[in-house]
Amino acid sequence: MKRVVVLGATGSIGRSTLDILRQHPDRYELAGVTGHTQVDRLAEIAREFACPWVAVTGSAPDQDAFPSGTRVLQGPTAATELVQAAEADIVVAAIVGAAGLLPALEAVRSGARVLLANKEALVMSGELFMAEVAKRQVELLPVDSEHNAIFQALPTEAQRLWERPDIAKLGVSGLVLTASGGPFRGRSADDLAEVTPEQACAHPNWSMGRKISVDSATLMNKGLELIEACWLFGVTPSQVSVHVHPQSIVHSAVRYTDGSVVAQLGVPDMRTPIAFGLAWPARVKAGVRPLDLFAAGILEFEPPDSQVFRCLPLAAEAFEAGGVAPAVLNAANEVAVEAFLSKRIGFLTIAHVLEYVLEKLDNSPADSIDSVLQADEWARHTARTWLNSVS
């Protein structure tokens, strides 16, 4: 029996994870869950799974709502405390945004297997995060569907990410990172000026939280994933080729020196990568509909439009700049996405906010979590000040 903690259990990835646990009560028990605002949902989860630990990081919970066997932690550091208390074998890191960094890092420090959905943690502090993974020899399994696909397509030796394998020495010549292109694929900048948050969140293939949905629409998600891939697999942006693939059937691929391209395919359902991470190196049922290749029909691939979707090249530039630039990019993006979702700015302004904040940055090394968090705070402040001055 594996004890599983789900950070961000009330979200989209959290729900998919619980769905898999529900299918395998003989393999997994829920050791702890966290949520931010959805206290009622957390109470339901605690009752259903007889979960011993719950953390509420946002609004104060009504203790009476929880079953008597559940210990409830509350406050901004509650998710980190829960990781320390719950003694999990597996932690699913699925809090959205920078708020997920410290709990994810604590999961690594706990020595548990970490299923990483919270890509922002790696974007912000990839070097420190991977150093901690290596130090603790932690089994790190990417949940992000593209990175999970790459992981699946890598040679077995290269799956030991905690050993920081040199994948070039294992015959890998490059990575293909696929992108659906989001709801605005093929549109011109003029077309995008007036699009609404509702349109941006209506993803053609995936059902996800609102922040990542907007990131998918701007291609910032692919930018964050490019950085994520560089840290996970020890490559540079020039070794990662983004392919827009509107059908979201090929979830990414690995190129080998002999000309082979090994890809992972499946219907777009996050339960596949989550189940893979939970059971690795075994396989378990995920409740996912089998891929019907006849029905899938033609699979298309095209290069991304980096002129219209500026966030993707900006992310590559931030990674190349190094230091705290990716953390700053991430924080500015969070502020900009929030402003777009609350209809304070237009869709195209999101990239302008990132450009402005990155231009203002006096870059410094990301040599401690404190320096990363300080840069995050500076970027949020700078982005908000600019937004206030223009709106």
Q: Which is nearer to Mg ion, 147 or 310 (CB)?
A: 147
The span of 7-15, 139-147, 229-237, 241-249 binding Mg ion (CB under 5 A) equals 139-147
Q: Which is nearer to ligand NDP, 88 or 212 (CB)?
A: 212
Hey, which residues between 140 and 199 contact Mg ion (CB under 5 A)?
144-146
Residue at shortest CB range from Mg ion? 144
Q: Which is nearer to Mg ion, 132 or 144 (CB)?
A: 144
State which H helix or E strand residue 84 sits in: helix 78-86
Q: Contact between 209 and ligand NDP (CB under 6 A)?
A: yes
Q: Contact between 178 and ligand NDP (CB under 6 A)?
A: no
Q: Contact between 266 and ligand NDP (CB under 6 A)?
A: no
The span of 107-115, 136-144, 299-307, 337-345 binding Mg ion (CB under 5 A) equals 136-144
How far the first Cα of the chain sits from its last, in Å, is 54
Residue (of 120, 56, 64, 114) closest to 90 by Cα position: 114
Which of 113, 119, 185, 222 contacts ligand NDP by CB under 6 A? 119
Q: Contact between 161 and ligand NDP (CB under 6 A)?
A: no
Sign of the alpha-carbon torsion through 307, 310, 312, 318: positive
Residue (of 154, 163, 131, 120) closest to 329 by Cα position: 120
Q: Contact between 36 and ligand NDP (CB under 6 A)?
A: yes
Residue (of 36, 105, 44) closest to 73 by Cα position: 36
Residue at shortest CB range from ligand NDP? 11
Residue 77 CA to residue 66 CA, distance in Å, equals 20
Q: From ligand NDP, Mg ion, none, which one binds at residue 174 (CB under 5 to 8 Å depending on kind)?
A: none
Residue (of 253, 232, 345, 353) closest to 301 by Cα position: 253
Q: Contact between 385 and ligand NDP (CB under 6 A)?
A: no
Q: Contact between 326 and ligand NDP (CB under 6 A)?
A: no
Q: Contact between 19 and ligand NDP (CB under 6 A)?
A: no
Contacts of 304 (CB under 8 A, 6+ apart): 179, 181, 219, 222, 242, 244, 312
Q: From Mg ion, ligand NDP, none, which one binds at residue 363 (CB under 5 to 8 Å depending on kind)?
A: none
Regarding beta strands 113-116 and 140-142, do their DSSP bridges make them parallel or antiparallel, or are they unpaired? Answer: parallel
301 in helix, strand or coil?
Answer: coil
Residue 331 CA to residue 374 CA, distance in Å, equals 11
- Tell the smallest beta-carbon distance from residue 360 to Mg ion (Å): 29
Q: Which is nearer to ligand NDP, 10 or 272 (CB)?
A: 10
Longest alpha-carbon distance in the chain? 62
**Site residues, ligand NDP (CB under 6 A):** 8-14, 35-38, 57-58, 79, 94-96, 99-100, 117-120, 144, 206, 208-209, 211-212, 270
